[in-house]
Amino acid sequence: TQLLEQSPQFLSIQEGENLTVYCNSLSVFSSLQWYRQEPGEGPVLLVTVVTGGEVKKLKRLTFQFGDARKDSSLHITAAQPGDTGLYLCAGSDIQGAQKLVFGQGTRLTINP
Amino acid sequence: NAGVTQTPKFRILKIGQSMTLQCTQDMNHNYMYWYRQDPGMGLKLIYYSVGAGITDKGEVPNGYNVSRSTTEDFPLRLELAAPSQTSVYFCASSYSAWGRGDTDTQYFGPGTRLTVL
């Protein structure tokens, strides 16, 4: 069974600080997705990374896929209260993305 | 477009009761999924479907059944509710599941919060 471990599980920081969330596995994934989930809602896709070593930027968010495609990171620069939420990583294997494996999530709180 | 809709939003069941969670998407997506999310945890795949008439098990299928008679609808059936099935259930859909691009984006419904007492 493929597992994805996210760290930290909880993170509370002040507005303006930078942070990094990690998503690690012993398994190789063909692609990895990052989602953000607000309370009472379903997850919303932020980005998909496909190539080992790939870096994608979404405004103040930077996503990186490890060279070996076993890990990924999400870096937020100058965090804002609107970034508060549950961040989930999910990996798909070479058989396709119909069986995503999710990490347990990182609950991020940005204090004004 | 409404996207993915789920009903009901909340439900309380007694042990042994049965119910069907409804899921409908209006995006003409081929793939549909059912996940459960326990408190403080990520999502676990229960069942998925690659098209009308075709379903397959995910990571945690025991205690659940699904059917896919149309492209739009993918109901999840709980036959004998147990306390371990207390969770938030999410339905999702995607156009593809090749694992390589934007067409794999899964769109999630708002969830059904189920409590079994």
Cα–Cα distance list, A28 to A2, A22, A32, A62 (Å): 9, 15, 10, 21
Q: Flag whether residue A106 sits within 8 Å of chain B, measured between CB atoms.
A: no
Q: pLDDT for B15-35, tens place per residue?
A: 999 999 999 999 999 999 999
What's the CATH code of the domain at B37?
Answer: 2.60.40.10
Establish if B25 belongs to a structural domain: yes
With respect to CATH, is domain A17-111 assigned 2.60.40.10?
yes
Q: Report the relative pairing of strands B19-25 and B43-51 from DSSP bridges.
A: unpaired
For residue B105, being part of any structural domain is answered with no
Q: What percent of chain A has pLDDT over 70?
A: 95
- Within 16-75 of A, beta carbons closer than 8 Å to B belong to 30-31, 40-45, 48, 50
Residue A43 has, within 13 A of its CA and on its CB side, a CA count of: 34
Pairing of strands A5-7, A55-58: unpaired
Contacts with A, B 9-38, CB within 8 Å: 31, 33
Cβ distance A42 to B4 less than 8 Å, yes or no, reads yes
Residue of A27, A100, A107 to mutate when probing chain B, most B C-beta within 10 A: A100
Give the residue numbers spanning the domain of B66. Answer: 4-98
Q: pLDDT value at position A1?
A: 63
Q: How big is the A-B interface in CB pairs under 8 Å?
A: 78
pLDDT digits (tens, 9 = 90+) for B55-108: 999 999 999 999 999 999 999 999 999 999 999 999 999 988 776 677 788 999
Across the interface, whether the CB atoms of A104 and B41 are under 8 A apart is answered yes
Each residue of A65-81: pLDDT tens digit? Answer: 999 999 999 999 999 99
Mutation site, B55, B104, B113, interface A, largest A CB count within 10 A: B104
User: For chain B, how big is the Rg over CA atoms in Å?
Assistant: 14
DSSP letters for A4-33: -EEE-SEEEEETT--EEEEEE-SS--SEEE
Query: Residue B32 domain-assigned?
Result: yes
Predicted local distance difference test score (pLDDT) of residue A76: 97
Task: Read off the DSSP letter of residue B106.
Answer: P
